[in-house]
């Protein structure tokens, strides 16, 4: 079965602000949550110092955005001094949680640093109003671990998250979002064989979508040519460590000039896939430079995920 996400004709929907010192170069990899009739976007931005900060914008239609003039979340110490990156926001039991990557000059593990001259931490923050955020603790320390996202509800009474511990996407459980024990983690899928579109690296996109057929994921991957593409993964509702189906074909890949060329070429990268009135809104960064939108009917995406 052939299936493609449809780009919106208004793309790109958010671009850098040349008059702003903190977001004049790149705006990309946004989270978007639909709450109280509005689309709320938290996006990664880079300016004159090339440090990533997180900005906020709001929209009534998901296309035209009003953004705050200052970032709402930015580095505070050595653990994230080089940037706060790639937010994913979810509401659980009336509280908003943001998973994000902290990139800092300090490396907290043993052996070689996970990133040149520093390290990364898969972090969580919480908020009651989507603007003011309280940092919590990292899921793990001292390893190349990111692309983490929380499920939108507890599963069997526990919080659950997906995270990427190379080369696999892992499932993790926690009782309180603070303690993440190794015995509560398991790998669930990884890259496929050579010459597949997802043969080199895989990771999670936005918040898992709950359906009667299972947890529907839109995931990302790249091949030996480092071209990013999206696909689908369906996980069991009660046991999301069990993969029900995984698409053989991708549903989205770079085609527009601003996706093929930018700060990092050949990249479409999404942290957000809210469902509003039966439509899946997939917000994504194009070439780590601007923000685009692609959509599809949820029922069509489910049909593809079940049959591809």
Measured CA distances, 91 to 33, 179, 248 (Å): 8, 19, 31
Domain that holds residue 200: 15-307
How many whole angstroms separate alpha carbon 19 and alpha carbon 69?
10
Which residue has 């000059």 as its token pair? 105
pLDDT tier at 63 (50, 70, 90 boundaries)? very high
Q: Is the dihedral of CA 125, 230, 283, 3 positive or negative?
A: negative
For the entire predicted model, the pTM comes to 0.97
Average pLDDT of span 84-97: 98
DSSP state of 181: -
CATH number assigned to the domain comprising residue 201:
2.115.10.20
Tokens of 258: 């601003």
pLDDT per residue as tens digits for the range 280-302:
999 999 999 999 999 999 999 99
Tell me, what's the pLDDT at 46?
98
Domain assignment present for 160: yes
When divided into structural domains, the chain yields a total of 1
CB 232, CB 217: distance < 8 Å: yes
Domain assignment present for 1: no
Own/partner contacts of 212-216, CB < 8 Å, gap of 24 or more, are 213/244, 213/302, 213/305, 213/306, 214/244, 215/151, 215/240, 216/301, 216/302, 216/305
Domain assignment present for 303: yes
User: Which residues are CB-contacts of 132 (< 8 A; sequence separation ≥ 6)?
Assistant: 72
Tell me, what's the pLDDT at 117?
67
Domain assignment present for 296: yes
Domain assignment present for 9: no
Domain assignment present for 41: yes
Number of Cβ atoms within 10 Å of the Cβ of 77? 11
> What is residue 302's three-state secondary structure?
helix
Q: Give the CA angle between residues 192, 196, 199 to the nearest 5°.
A: 45
For residue 19, report the phi and psi dihedrals to the nearest 5 degrees: -95, 0
Domain assignment present for 4: no
**Alpha helices (H) in the chain, listed in sequence order:** 257-260, 298-307
Domain assignment present for 3: no
Is a pLDDT exceeding 90 seen at residue 271?
A: yes
Is a pLDDT exceeding 70 seen at residue 114?
A: no
How many whole angstroms separate alpha carbon 294 and alpha carbon 277?
15
- 110-129 burial string, b = 16+ CB within 10 Å, else e? eeebbeeebbbbbbbbebee
């Amino acid at each position: 079965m052939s299936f493609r996400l449809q780009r919106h004709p208004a793309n790109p929907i958010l671009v850098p602000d040349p008059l702003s010192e903190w977001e004049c170069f790149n705006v990309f990899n946004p989270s978007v949550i639909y709450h109280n009739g509005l689309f709320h976007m938290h996006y990664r931005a880079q300016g004159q110092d090339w440090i990533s900060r997180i900005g906020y914008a709001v929209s009534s239609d998901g296309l035209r955005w009003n953004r705050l003039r200052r970032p709402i979340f930015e580095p505070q110490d050595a653990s994230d001094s080089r940037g706060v990156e790639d937010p994913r926001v979810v509401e659980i039991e009336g509280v908003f949680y943001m998973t994000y990557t902290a990139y800092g000059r300090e490396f907290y593990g043993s052996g070689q640093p996970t990133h040149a001259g520093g390290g990364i931490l898969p972090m969580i923050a919480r908020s009651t109003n989507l603007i003011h955020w309280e940092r919590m603790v990292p899921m793990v320390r001292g390893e190349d671990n990111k692309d983490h996202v929380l499920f939108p509800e507890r599963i069997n009474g526990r919080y659950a998250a997906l995270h990427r511990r190379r080369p696999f996407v892992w499932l993790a459980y926690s009782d309180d979002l603070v303690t993440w024990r190794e015995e509560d983690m398991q790998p669930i899928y990884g890259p496929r064989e050579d010459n597949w579109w997802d043969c080199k690296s895989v990771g999670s996109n936005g918040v898992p979508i709950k359906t009667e057929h299972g947890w529907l994921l839109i995931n990302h991957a790249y091949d030996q040519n480092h071209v990013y593409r999206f696909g689908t993964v369906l996980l069991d509702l009660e046991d999301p460590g069990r993969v029900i189906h995984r698409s053989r074909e991708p549903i989205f890949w770079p085609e527009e000039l601003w996706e093929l060329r930018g700060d990092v070429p050949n990249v479409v990268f999404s942290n957000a896939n809210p469902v509003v009135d039966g439509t899946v809104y997939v917000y994504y960064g194009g070439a780590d430079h601007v923000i685009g939108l692609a959509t599809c009917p949820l029922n069509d995406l489910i049909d593809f995920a079940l049959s591809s």
